[in-house]
Amino acid sequence: MKILCLHGRGSNNEIFQLQTAAFRAELEDFEFEYVQGTVPHTEGNWSLYTTAFPKAPLYGYYDPLRPSSIQQAEDDLIQLIKENGPFDGVLSYSGGTALAAQIIIRNALENPFSLPDERPFRFAVFINGVTPLKVFPIEEGTFTEMTMENSALVKEASSLLLRDSATRVRKNKNEFEDYDPAAIKAELMALETKTLTDGRLCLSDGKYGITRYDSGIDGILMDIPTLHVRCAEEEDFHHGLHMTQLCEPDQSTEYHHHNGEDFPRGHAEMKKIAQLIRETAERA
């Protein structure tokens, strides 16, 4: 059983290997292959695990403000799957779950009649799943006439990319001399917020738009077996709950932890997650 592993935003392979060590020990017959992001992440320590690796470079898979970065990450991962696969499943955390879901959804939309063994993965494990992003070319009639300033999307992106821990930068600041919060803010403010004809908001650079997949509009987009490990107390709809709603209910299993946006932990909890991963794989 070969599993592709995608770490969270602001992490790396070493951290993700540590986070998953306890339940990997319960899955000795599984093979785990880790793929590290390439977009440098400079934010200050935010979790138990990044604190444990204060000088290790951290990465994300794409710049969420750049359509080209998002598309390139998808293209690169699809190529990696072709060269290093096939993979039975994908194990992903936080920001990595969005990329994993984007690959699954893209394949389903482009190849609606593909057989299970022709898909990127036969099953998926999403830990603290983040709602995946959708990038699309701007065409006539894509938007209503409405253009919004200081929209909810801009506020949300600002709170994520320009929060205090991000603008402080990590302890090894000398390694990130090119990091410029003002440039991130300018990049964000250069995007326009527009309303799509289906009612959802998107950010646009004039050529491409970035929005989220929406189960209320797009329906169920993933029909493979999925395991959703998330914090039930999390108030943000886009940090776990919505990912479950994009998946076929009859093929989904949920496990709730109580560590917020951080990784689940504890011997009993990790043992249970390992059991659920195995059961999800066996359903595929």
Query: Where in the chain are the domains?
Result: 2-132+218-283
State the chain's mean pLDDT as an integer: 85
Cα–Cα distance between 162 and 2 in angstroms, integer? Answer: 37
- Residue 132 vs residue 200, higher pLDDT: 132
Query: Residue 114: CB partners within 8 Å, gap ≥ 6?
Result: 107, 108
Cα–Cα distance between 137 and 207 in angstroms, integer? Answer: 6
- Residues 100 and 6 sit within 8 Å (Cβ to Cβ): yes
Architecture of domain 2-132+218-283: 3-Layer(aba) Sandwich (3.40)
Cα–Cα distance between 210 and 66 in angstroms, integer? Answer: 8
Quick one: pLDDT at residue 252? 97
94 part of the active site: yes
Lowest mean pLDDT among 29-33, 87-91, 198-202, 241-245: 198-202
DSSP 61: S
2-6 and 31-35 as β-strands: parallel, antiparallel, unpaired? parallel
Buried b (16+ CB within 10 A) or exposed e, 185-212: eebbeebbbbbbeeebbbbbbeebbbbb
Cα–Cα distance between 222 and 140 in angstroms, integer? Answer: 29
Cα–Cα distance between 222 and 154 in angstroms, integer? Answer: 28
Cα–Cα distance between 91 and 95 in angstroms, integer? Answer: 12
What mean pLDDT comes out for the span 150-167? Answer: 62
Cα–Cα distance between 161 and 185 in angstroms, integer? Answer: 8
Tokens of 209: 């738009």
Report the predicted TM-score, pTM, of the whole model to 2 decimal places.
0.88
Lowest mean pLDDT among 45-54, 71-80, 227-236: 45-54
Q: 68-82, 108-122, 128-142, 171-185: which has the highest mean pLDDT?
A: 68-82
Quick one: pLDDT at residue 170? 45
Lowest mean pLDDT among 21-30, 130-139, 163-172: 163-172
192-196 and 201-204 as β-strands: parallel, antiparallel, unpaired? antiparallel
Active-site entry in 11, 94, 151, 204: 94
Q: Percentage of the chain with pLDDT > 90?
A: 54
| Residue 178: band (very low, low, confident or very high) from pLDDT cuts 50, 70, 90 | low
Q: Is the pLDDT of residue 243 over 80?
A: yes
91-147 pLDDT per residue, tens:
999 999 999 999 999 999 999 998 888 899 999 999 999 999 999 998 866 777 566
Cα–Cα distance between 67 and 261 in angstroms, integer? Answer: 25
Query: Under DSSP, is residue 49 helix (H, G, I), strand (E, B) or coil?
Result: helix
What mean pLDDT comes out for the span 229-256? Answer: 92
27-65 pLDDT per residue, tens:
999 999 999 998 887 654 455 555 556 567 888 899 888
